[in-house]
Structure 1
Amino acid sequence: MIATMEIVDILDKSEAIGQMVLQSDIKLAYDKAKHTVETDETAQQLISRFNKIKELYDDVERFGRYHPDYSKIMKEIREAKRDMDMHESIANYKQVETQFQQFLDEISEIIAFSVSQNIKVPKDGALLKDGGCGCGSGSGGCGCRAS
């Protein structure tokens, strides 16, 4: 592909947008929350416990209710997840992570819609928000909506 001045200009502007995102307050808050979780010994223990139980859960999931330890593992995975999610630094990290994802989704939408209103922009949680397939269309006109 031959690089035209228009393509070079687009690349320069996209690099500038990337730098603005990296220097944004929400990105800095995300990095701080992530570092807090990574250095929080209790949080790491809770995450490790959850991951160990999740391995057992994956095995149980293959057999479903017929697995001999189904009830025990299901209870343990719910307790481990609750304990992990309720820990202050992990809860804060998840909240900031969601805000950062929404920020990135908004940027993607602005860029896409500046080209055309017909562009489908995938979004985190679009399946739950739009009731569609996750493509972000929300209209069902894309042909992927389950009836």
Structure 2
Amino acid sequence: MTMTDISLVHEAQDLSDQIIQSEVFLTYIEAKKEIQNNSRIQKELQYFQTLKEKYEEVQRFGKYHPDFRTITSEVREYKRYLDTDPLVAEFKAAEKNLHELLSEISLLLAGQVSPNIKVPTGNPFFDAQQSSCSGGCGSGGSCGCG
């Protein structure tokens, strides 16, 4: 290892420490603990997991499975029910905020190395900012992707 490598490791550790101490991360951890320590939510998540397993089984046969509509509808309704629970909604919002922070950091780091590095953020806003493609490589025109 060179001194440059050691310096990079120390800077990466400093950055991770700053992330861990950030309000966004602390909010996420607190929301996660609330979900994990809430017995009602845990039971509801276990039930939802059971529903998802049934859904996956039904999906193997598609609309020809006798319970296709029933299970599909039940999964959608229960997911909607869970998503509207205040604790789950708070956790999902905190998770989204942390994901956005990490995506922004990834984009900044990649941009410092090279503007041609593509960082999959899962966010169309960020993905559009870093892409020089219009319509994708398979759009038929000349591709400007690097």
1:75 to 69, 73, 76: 73
Q: Which residue of 2 aligns with 1:105?
A: 103
For normalisation by structure 2, the TM-score amounts to 0.86
> Offset of 1:137 from its aligned partner?
4.7
The structure showing larger relative contact order (alpha-carbon pairs under 8 Å, at least 6 residues apart) is 2
> Offset of 1:140 from its aligned partner?
3.0
> Taking every aligned residue pair, what percent have the same amino acid on both sides?
34
Deviations 1:99-139 (A, max 9, x none): 0000001111111111222211110234x8757xxxx8533
What are the residue-to-residue correspondences of 1:84-95 with 2, within 5 Å? 84-95=82-93
**Number of residue-to-residue matches in the alignment:** 139
Q: Which runs of 5+ in 1 are unaligned?
A: none
Q: Which residue of 1 aligns with 2:36?
A: 38
Runs of 4+ in 1 over 6 A off after TM superposition: none
Contact 1:46–1:80 (8 Å) recurs in 2 = no
SS for the counterpart of 1:122 is coil
CA RMSD of aligned residues (A): 2.1
1:9 to 7, 10, 13: 7
In the alignment, the residues of structure 2 paired with residue 103 and residue 49 of structure 1 have an alpha-carbon distance, to the nearest angstrom, of: 31
For normalisation by structure 1, the TM-score amounts to 0.85
In the alignment, residue 24 of structure 2 is paired with which amino acid? I
Q: Which runs of 5+ in 2 are unaligned?
A: 140-146
What are the residue-to-residue correspondences of 1:15-30 with 2, within 5 Å? 15-30=13-28
